[in-house]
């Protein structure tokens, strides 16, 4: 589901970038470690800040990244142009990732799974495109915030079948992932690192 004008402003501003760069990337790095030399994927990359962090902080060699919103991809193309062929961008849907099975060493989700009505299908797609032993780094927004009366008036999100932290963990495990580490904040946000088992 595309962002409304309010949430797009929240995402495309220096405060969001500072939070992603100085808090979330550091937390996820501490939880799951770097992915030096990796071929990585970012789903729902927005304007491309996360892709920069996957290259610079997590030390991936190459990042593929896509978003449902062509305007976000246009912004990401501009931002990431100096990175040359270390980045490939396209307009795409996380429910049907345009990649072969077992392509990536790591997949990154900075707050996109909760935007998808059939969010479990995204987890299944992430699992499919990860190599055995590959890691999934996720930052997610929980039902308590999405269904908050004020927040739900300000933003557009699917409202049925939203998850709490335990629901997200259970869905990861049901998909086949092993949980490496997790962290929550105020029952409204979670960060997970999960791993596709080597023998799967």
Ligand X SMILES: C[S@@+](CC[C@H](N)C(=O)[O-])C[C@H]1O[C@@H](n2cnc3c(N)ncnc32)[C@H](O)[C@@H]1O
Residues that bind ligand X in the complex, under the rule CB under 6 A: 1-3, 11, 16, 20, 43-46, 49-50, 67-69, 72, 93-95, 110-112, 115-116
Closer to ligand X by Cβ: residue 72 or 193: 72
CB closer to ligand X, 5 vs 199: 5
- Residue 9: partners with Cβ closer than 8 Å, 6 or more residues away: none
Alpha carbon separation from 184 to 112, 148, 165 (Å, rounded): 17, 18, 7
In the complex with ligand X, the residue whose CB is nearer, 12 or 178, is: 12
- To ligand X, the closest distance from the beta carbon of 73 in angstroms equals 9
Output the CA–CA distances (angstroms, integers) from residue 49 to 105, 167, 196, in the order listed. 20, 28, 25
Phi and psi angles of residue 109, each rounded to the nearest 5 degrees, phi first: -130, 105
We find the least distance from the C-beta atom of residue 149 to ligand X, in angstroms, to be 20
Q: Which is nearer to ligand X, 44 or 165 (CB)?
A: 44
> Shortest approach of ligand X to residue 41 CB, angstroms?
11
Residue 101 in 3-state DSSP?
Answer: coil
């Amino acid at each position: 589901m595309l962002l409304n004008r309010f949430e797009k402003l929240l995402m495309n501003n220096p405060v969001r970038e500072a939070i992603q760069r100085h808090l979330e990337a550091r937390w996820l790095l501490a939880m799951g470690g770097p992915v030096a030399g990796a071929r990585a994927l970012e789903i729902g990359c927005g304007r491309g800040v996360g892709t920069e962090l996957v290259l610079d902080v997590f030390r991936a060699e190459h990042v593929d990244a896509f978003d449902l919103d062509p305007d976000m991809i246009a912004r990401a193309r501009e931002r990431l142009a100096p990175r040359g062929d270390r980045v490939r961008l396209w307009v795409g849907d996380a429910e049907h990732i345009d990649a072969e099975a077992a392509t990536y060493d790591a997949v990154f989700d900075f707050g996109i799974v909760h935007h998808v009505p059939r969010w479990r299908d995204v987890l299944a797609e992430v699992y499919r495109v990860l190599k055995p032993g590959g890691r999934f780094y996720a930052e997610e927004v929980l039902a308590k915030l999405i269904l908050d009366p004020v927040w739900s008036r300000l933003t557009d999100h699917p409202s049925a079948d939203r998850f709490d932290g335990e629901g997200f963990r259970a869905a990861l495990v049901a998909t086949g992932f092993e949980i490496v580490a997790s962290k929550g904040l105020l029952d409204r946000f979670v960060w997970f690192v999960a791993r596709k088992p080597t023998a799967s």
